[in-house]
Amino acid sequence: MDVWRSMYMIVWVAFFQIIFILFSPLNESINIGVHVVVALAILVLAFHVYRSVGRTSCPGRIKRITKATWYLAVLQAILGGALVLGIMLSWGSLYVDVVSFLHVVNALAIITQASSSATAYDMWEEKEFQVTAVSPPSP
């Protein structure tokens, strides 16, 4: 799969993941199962993008953004696990609310980072901008 398609796919899959969780008419256990499967897909896509972009000659900024997206996806999995653990062990509503909030904020950060890197990579690939060295000012 093309790298840029994977980049945009992360954005849309994460977006629909959020919409699905917010508005799904299915029961909770089905929602969680679908959520986990889609989350794993995002994790795999983020790793694929990070590794694939790292092998190109694109600007370092794009590589750093894809690396950050991969780290956010890993953090998202950790937060999801912490959330499930907190719910299963009844650690209280404050814990669940805080971890839930962080989980949602992190999901939005993944969308933001992935869309930023996708746009920049697409522009670089299409040669819509040129990377030039900045010369120091004259004395």
pLDDT in tens, 102-138: 999 999 999 999 999 999 998 888 887 665 666 677 7
Quick check: 100 pLDDT over 60? yes
Which pLDDT does position 70 carry in this prediction? 96
Which pLDDT does position 134 carry in this prediction? 67
Quick check: 1 pLDDT over 70? no
Percent of the chain with pLDDT over 70: 94
Which position has the higher pLDDT, 97 or 129? 97
Which position has the higher pLDDT, 5 or 74? 74
Answer whether 76's CB lies under 8 Å from 63's CB.
Answer: no
CA distance 35 to 76: 12
The single-letter DSSP state of residue 1 is: -
Domain limits, the chain: 3-125
Which pLDDT does position 76 carry in this prediction? 96
Which pLDDT does position 94 carry in this prediction? 94
Which position has the higher pLDDT, 125 or 55? 55
Answer whether 45's CB lies under 8 Å from 77's CB.
Answer: no
CA distance 39 to 30: 14
Amino acid identity of residue 117, one-letter, is S
